[in-house]
């Protein structure tokens, strides 16, 4: 389904920028991330935590869409819209993560423990990078990991500048 079809079917609608909704989605996303990170993830429950990590990512993507003035009612359409409004968005990786989530939710597929932990890590990393890049001003309670990500990014930029000075 392409962007035009998503709009034609009413799966993408124009909306007003709702700052309270954006903040709420960010807060819920943080709660989901914290739940995943605090959990004892095992071979038995790893697929459940993949779903929660995906929800955390999707909530940030929805917040970005609302910030841009859109309400999206479909996982595939959110990808199509973000491809249009955020050209640098890694929609290929997101599509892969969406496909994994759907294979769990709709087809009962299970994921191996090691692979599942890596998928969770990728989902939460993507979520935090998007949050930092597009929604930092709406984030009222950045998590410890997000602050660490911000410091790490700052340090990388600073070290690149120092290397260029030599």
pLDDT at position 41 over 70 = yes
- Helix (H) or strand (E) holding 12, with range, is strand 12-14
Give φ, ψ of 107 to 5 degrees: -125, 0
In a domain, 11, yes or no: yes
In a domain, 113, yes or no: yes
Q: How confident is the model at residue 15 (pLDDT cuts 50, 70, 90)?
A: very high
pLDDT at position 150 over 90 = no
Question: What is the mean predicted confidence (pLDDT) over 142-151?
Answer: 56
Structure tokens of 67? Answer: 């910030």
In a domain, 127, yes or no: yes
**How high is the pLDDT of residue 166?**
46
Domain that holds residue 67: 3-139
**In CATH, what number is assigned to the domain containing residue 27?**
1.20.120
CA end-to-end span of the chain: 51
In a domain, 161, yes or no: no
DSSP assignment of 101-125: HHHHHHH-----HHHHHHHHHHHHH
Say if CB 134 and CB 65 are below 8 A apart.
no
pLDDT at position 27 over 50 = yes
Q: What percent of the chain has pLDDT over 90?
A: 76
- Helix (H) or strand (E) holding 127, with range, is helix 113-134
Instruction: For the chain, give the mean pLDDT.
Output: 89
In a domain, 149, yes or no: no
Higher pLDDT, 49 or 154: 49
pLDDT at position 123 over 60 = yes
Q: For the chain, how many structural domains are there in total?
A: 1
In a domain, 71, yes or no: yes
Secondary structure of 46-73 in the HEC alphabet?
A: HHHHHHHHHHHHHHHHHHHHHHCCEEEC
Lowest-pLDDT choice from 70-79, 107-116, 126-135, 140-149? 140-149
In a domain, 144, yes or no: no
pLDDT at position 124 over 90 = yes
């Amino acid at each position: 389904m392409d962007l035009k079809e998503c709009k034609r079917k009413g799966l993408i609608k124009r909306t007003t920028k709702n700052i309270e909704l954006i903040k709420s989605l960010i807060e819920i996303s943080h709660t989901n991330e914290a739940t995943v990170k605090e959990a004892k993830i095992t071979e038995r429950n790893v697929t459940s935590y993949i779903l929660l990590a995906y929800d955390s990512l999707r909530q940030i993507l929805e917040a970005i869409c609302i910030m841009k003035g859109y309400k999206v009612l479909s996982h595939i359409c959110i990808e199509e819209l973000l491809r249009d409004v955020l050209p640098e968005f890694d929609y290929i990786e997101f599509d892969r993560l969406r496909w994994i989530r759907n294979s769990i939710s709709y087809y009962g597929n299970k994921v191996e423990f090691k692979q599942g932990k890596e998928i969770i890590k990728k989902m939460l990393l993507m979520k935090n990078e998007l949050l930092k890049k597009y929604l930092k001003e709406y984030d009222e309670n950045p998590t410890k990991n997000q602050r660490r990500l911000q410091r790490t990014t700052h340090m990388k930029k600073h070290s690149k500048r120092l290397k260029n000075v030599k």
